[in-house]
Amino acid sequence: MSLKILFMGTPDFAVPVLKSIHQCKHEILNVYTQPPKRKLRGQKVISSPVHQCAEKLGIPVRCPDNINTESEYQHIKNLNPNIVIVVAYGKIIPENFLNLSDTLFINIHASILPRWRGAAPIQRALMNMDKETGISIMKIIKDLDAGPVMKTVKVNIKKSSNYENLSKEMSLLSAHTIIDCLDTLESKKEKFIPQDSSKATYAKKISKEEAQISWNNKAKHIIAKINALHPHPGCWFNLEGARVKILEAKEVNIQGKPGEIVDDQFTIASSENSVQILRLKKEGKKSMSASSFLIGNKLKIGKNLNEI
């Protein structure tokens, strides 16, 4: 007997999960996603990746500005899904929804819970230079990411990992794992293990201020932040009055005063070792290699970026 499923998700991360569920024997009744937004340039209205995917798959879509209304509650109650699967939806599920009888709300969270509860678990794991992360499939309760966990799958964080490639890897892993979990739920063999909240850490939302590089940090921490915030919002610094976003960089064993341009290879000193920029994007320009940038931009060796 197939399960009746309601899916809630918004970004690219959730799309492979939606596709995977659609391809299996279970029935997706509806998809909930964030409302379309206007893009800054041209003010074109853009639907979320999940919205676009659901329309292609022929699944009915709802995108309320506010889910916490009587009409949305009644809609979900009347659908009477067995399972509601939430993947980076971006809205808090109201408590009265969670209390619907015969409906289980589960969430795919991109960390090894209870570590990195909250909005930015992948970015925080990278910034913290964790050796591993993973996905946790958990029951949703009213407290943030605190529900009992049904399944955890771990992923190694490699030296080459950044937010873009790690989130894609974890998204595909989620798409595969959720099918096993649905089969377990269908057979009623699931076991939910309570989290140890004394070990919880929190992955707060990335602020705009965090994206600016501080050369007073160690090079390894700067590199970790560059990887964690790639491609969006991206780490940046000011050079000759223009904002430069670093897309790729490496740590090199060169010493200097923090913020000092130490050579003609676009190497900038930090409080420990230096950061050599490999790829970048100057404000208003296309992304390019550092070597291409240096053809038309002469660096002032010895200039200190902290003094701008």
- CATH number of domain containing 47: 3.40.50.170
Alpha carbons 20 and 208: distance in angstroms, whole number: 34
- Reading the block at residue 32, the tokens are 């909930």
Residues 179 and 272 in one domain: no
Phi/psi region, residue 145 (left: phi>0; alpha: psi -120 to 50; beta: rest), is: left
Residues 134 and 222 in one domain: no
Residues 184 and 255 in one domain: no
| Residue 290 domain boundaries | 209-307
Residues 76 and 199 in one domain: yes
Q: Do the beta carbons of residue 253 and residue 295 sit within 8 Å?
A: no
240 pLDDT band, cuts 50/70/90, is: confident
pLDDT tens track for 2-11: 999 999 999 9
Alpha carbons 219 and 229: distance in angstroms, whole number: 15
Phi/psi region, residue 113 (left: phi>0; alpha: psi -120 to 50; beta: rest), is: beta
Residues 280 and 199 in one domain: no
pLDDT at 118 over 80: yes
120 pLDDT band, cuts 50/70/90, is: very high
Residues 217 and 198 in one domain: no
User: Would you state the pLDDT for residue 39?
Assistant: 74
Residues 153 and 243 in one domain: no
CA-angle at 174, arms to 171 and 178, nearest 5°: 150
Residues 196 and 147 in one domain: yes
Which of 176, 203, 230 is the endpoint of a domain? Answer: 203
Which of 168, 185, 203 is the endpoint of a domain? Answer: 203
Report the mean per-residue pLDDT for the chain. Answer: 96
Residues 180 and 59 in one domain: yes
Residues 9 and 112 in one domain: yes
40 pLDDT band, cuts 50/70/90, is: low
User: Would you state the pLDDT for residue 307?
Assistant: 80
- Reading the block at residue 73, the tokens are 């509650």
Which of 203, 233, 251 is the endpoint of a domain? Answer: 203
Residues 176 and 73 in one domain: yes
CATH of the domain at 297: 3.10.25.10
Residues 53 and 114 in one domain: yes
User: Would you state the pLDDT for residue 41?
Assistant: 64
42 pLDDT band, cuts 50/70/90, is: low
Number of domains, the chain: 2
User: Would you state the pLDDT for residue 214?
Assistant: 97
pLDDT tens track for 170-222: 999 999 999 999 999 999 999 999 999 999 999 999 998 999 999 999 999 99
User: Would you state the pLDDT for residue 308?
Assistant: 62
Say if strands 202-203 and 132-139 run parallel, antiparallel, or are unpaired: unpaired
